[in-house]
Each structure stands twice: as structure tokens, then as C-alpha cells.
Chain A
Amino acid sequence: MTEPGIAASTSEGGEGPEPRPGPDGQGLDQRPSRDGQGAVVSLRGVSKWFIGRNDPTHALSRIDLDVSDGEFVSVIGPSGCGKSTLLRVVGGLVGYESGTVEVAGTTPAVARRTKQLGFTPQTPALLPWRTVRRNARFLSELNARRAVSEPLSEQESVALLETVGLGKFLDSFPNELSGGMQQRVSLVRSFVLGAPVMLMDEPFSALDEITRNEMRYLLLDLWARTRKTVLFVTHSIPEAVILADRVLVMAPRPGRIVRTEHVSLARPRTTAMEDDPVYLEHVSRVRAALHEASAR
């Protein structure tokens, strides 16, 4: 499905996307952030191995990455390329063998303990015995004493639920909601936490395409209101591009970042942009990079 011409332009050092010729490939991203502050997430030469029953797997190989404050970064790659592992390393949920990771000015472990990471899992993972309103506040209730960042207030979290169209379902239980509605609660829940860094692990992968497309714009809406830093893992190329300021393409064995695509579309993103030639160009470049990553 890849045209040869596009594939050629993706190879290492190929010219970047037109307006912003950012450093390509695995180079450090020095782009200044929105607020002019330094990187909120910063990885230097991070490597991780999984010692399985068979051969050890090189899950991450010398990853360098800087994500600036308020930036939206998508991570895409074939299965087993380590993108979920990357997210878990940043989130302090798994360890790593070498390199340094800094999150919100501290280590992942401390960031996790002080609740500075808003995690969104693959499934909604709502608690069936809690109403929508109480599910949205679940993360902020936990381990509350050590939280550094202030969670949203009750009114603010209800406002977010209203933003995503759940105003009438505040007191419903999850089993009364559709899959898409449940996933919206899950999104709101991670934003209510008020953490500076959001980690999203394919949160829309279980949804049908129509709902999924809707969810992308809802997420952007929530993000625009809160301006958090987002690391978003996905399998979907259109999703990666339409959401992000920057798309990281990863390749497996060993897991590494093989291309960085700076998305030059304006904010706020709209459905109309999905027909924009600039958008389509980004998509095809990411697709070509992915194709190459899977082929190796």
C-alpha cells in the first residue's frame, strides 16, 4: 500500500514536512514548548530488556525523547515495538536497565507516588459499582494525601462530563452506558486527576470507527481546556496524526524511535482537516515509516 515515491522520502534524513523541518529520526527534539519551559518528560538513552522464558527481548533501545509542556505526542508502531513499554517506563509502572528518565522534574517512581501521571488504560476500566460521577473522581480519591497537583473540584469534573455529553448520565451506572460513553468517562477521569502528564495507552482501540473518530475530537476538546502534556499510544495512523503535535514512529527488535513527524496542522483540529492535503501527506509519510518499521 506504500507508493515507492513516498517510501523514498521517508528514509533516514529525508526532508522533513514542509513548514517545520524538525530534527528527523531519533534526534533530540529541542523545539521550545508553548510556555517556554523545559521538557516535562525527558528520556536519555533508555534501554529495557524483558527476560522471558525464551530469549531476552530488547524492548527499548537507547530511547531519547523530550516532550515539552502542553505538547501532544502520539506514539505509533507495529505490535511488539515497545510503545506500551515506553509509556509504562515513563509512568513508573515498569523499570528500565539503563539511561535516565525524568518526569515532571523527578523520577517516574516519585511522579507516580505523587500522582503526577494521569493514566488512561485500553479499556474504560470503570468500577461497575460507582456512578458516572463517582467514577470520574475515582483516580483523584486514591492515595490522596501524597498528591502534589490539585485535582479538579466536584463542579469542574461535572463540567467536563457535560463537555463530553454525559450531563444526563451523571448518576448512571457503567452497565447502563454504551462502550463509547464508558470510554468518555475514562477520559474525563484521567483529566480530573489534574496531573501535568497524561499517559494514554490505546484508549480507543476497542471502539468502532465512527465512535472512535468522535472520541478523538472530544479528547482534543478536553486537552484544549486543560493543556496537559499527553503521550498517546495508538495503532491508528489517522488518529496519531490528527491528535498530535508530533508523531513518533517506533520499530521493534530492538524497540526504538525511527521517525519523528511534526504535524503542521493548525489548532484546533477539525474534521475538515481530514481532507486537507497537508494532513494526507503526514498520514502517508507516517504510513511509509510504519511500513518500513514492520518490514525490518
Chain B
Amino acid sequence: MEAINALVLLGNYVIVPGIAYGSQLALAALGVSLIYGILRFSNFAHGDTMAFGAMVAVLLTSLAQSLGISIAPFPTAMLTLPFAIAGTVLLVIAFDFAVYRHFRSIRSSPVVFVIASTGVMFVMQGLIRFIVGPRDRDLGDGARFVVNAREFKAALGLEQGLSIKVSQSLTLGITIIAVLLLFWFLHRTRTGKAMRAFSDNEDLARLSGINPQTVVILAWTLSAALAATAGILYGLDKTFKPIIYFQLLLPTFAAAIVGGLGNPIGALAGGFVVAFSEICITYAFKRFLAYLLPENLEPTGLVQLLSTEYKFAISFFILVVVLLIRPTGIFAGRSS
């Protein structure tokens, strides 16, 4: 019984949130990785691309609520997802035409693109604050829980309850669908194969007649769609606050680099590695151990490796260790 209680406790505070957060990071990292694979630079504006997608969802959700449109028990934000994706794709492609296309035509080095993307990031941040302001916004409505902690406890007669939020299960479901669609596209369609070919060897792709402009627009489209989806799911799970998405940039890049930049499978795995590291290292294992250990060995401290304020340090740490030991990432992406 003690062991089951310990497992439920861990499930509630580590595994379930870890899977949700990991999925969100994986979606975000996939977008970063795609841009790196095709355009060969690290897109620092990706965090705020996520924020923009979530912002569109916030605005459309309040519009839908005021019109009385709802898809309860699902959150209204899910209804706005396609529109948020479309809006984000348009914005990102507009930025490509306004900014990146120029640097491609003069064949700038990757570092110039990175700096340009930092500029785009600031413009996006300004745009988002101009439209919705810097405050918290609640994105979630509809039912809150799939599995309620209290009911779970009562039903199983346990001390510990397990709760699974609607947003968490939606996150997992949508991530699975998005990833399957992405991999099907990249591996089964002619255009997807052309994208991989372009990422592999740009010169040979051009010689084979693959149009660089099409591939670039497609890469932005996919990346923006993934960013908007990740942004909305994160906003549903936690809360929508513009600055949070900027802060997500670090774990996102840690995830993409851990898995190997430019490698989609790596980005996927990297998202979960970073999410679980962050959660495990900042989780206080005191109560968990209290269930498993004999009474005289029960820990007196919190058994927390780092306090939650340091969670960003964990991404940094993972990043540094990976770059030192395996610079191309676990799944051997390309080095820059």
C-alpha cells in the first residue's frame, strides 16, 4: 500500500506534469530544429512565435466566449487552434519576407541570421504587449480535470490522489497527432522528402531542381504551426503570460541541442529529457521517500536537489554538459 501511495504521489507530481511539459517542449524544439535544418540558424524568435500563437488563441477565445460559442468539456482555445496556427504562419512568413529573405539574398553568415532573429524577437514581444499587454490571461475554460485527485482517492481508498488535467491529456494527444503528421509528411510525401534532401545537402537539392523558396516557406509554415500549438498547450496547462514564452526559449534550445540540432527525433527526445530533468531535480522527494523507507530512515529535509527558482539553471547545465561531451547531440545532428 505504501509503495502504491508512493507511486501515485510520484505520478501526480512528476510523471504527469513531466509528460505534459515534455510534450510542449518537444513541439517547441521540433520547430527550432526544423528551422535550423533548413535555414541553418538558431531562431531566437521562436519563444515569442509561441507567445503570438497563444495570444491569437486568447483573443479568439474571449471573442468566442462573448458570442456564447463553446465546445465544452474541451477548452474553447482548441476551437481557435487552426486560426491561431494560420495567424502565426502568416506573421512568420511576413517576417521572412521583411527580414530573412534579404539576408539570404546577400548570403549572410548564420550568426547574422541569429542576430536578426533576436531583433525579430524584440519586435514580436513589442507587438504582443501592444496587443494584449504583459499581464496574465486565463486561457482555460470548460472542464478542468479528466481524473480528479479527490475522486481518485475515494475510489481507490488511497492516501494520495492522482489528478490529470484536461490540458495535460490534450497536450499529450495533440503532440502525438502533430508528431505523427510531421513524420508522415517528412518521410512519406515528395515535398517532405525534398525538405529533408534540402536540409541534407542544399547544393545538390538545388541541382536536383528542388525550389529553395518553396522549401523555406514550408519550413516556416511547419515551424510556426508547431510553435503556435506548443504555445497554446503551454498556456492552457499553466497560464498565458508573454514573458513566460521568452523564458521557455532556453529549455527549448536545450531540448533541440540535446537531441542534435536538425534532427526531429532528437528534438522529440530532448524535450522529454529536459522536462523530466527540470521536474525531477526541483521536486522535493521527502514524502515519496517517507512512503518507501522504514520510519527510522525517514528523511528530515525536503530531499530537493535544487529549489524551483533554479529550474532554468538545469537547462543551462544540460546544455553545457551535452556540448562538452557530445557536441552534435545524443542523436548526432549536424554541428554548426
Q: Answer yes or no: do A and B interact.
A: no
Chain A residues proximal to chain B, CB less than 8 Å: none
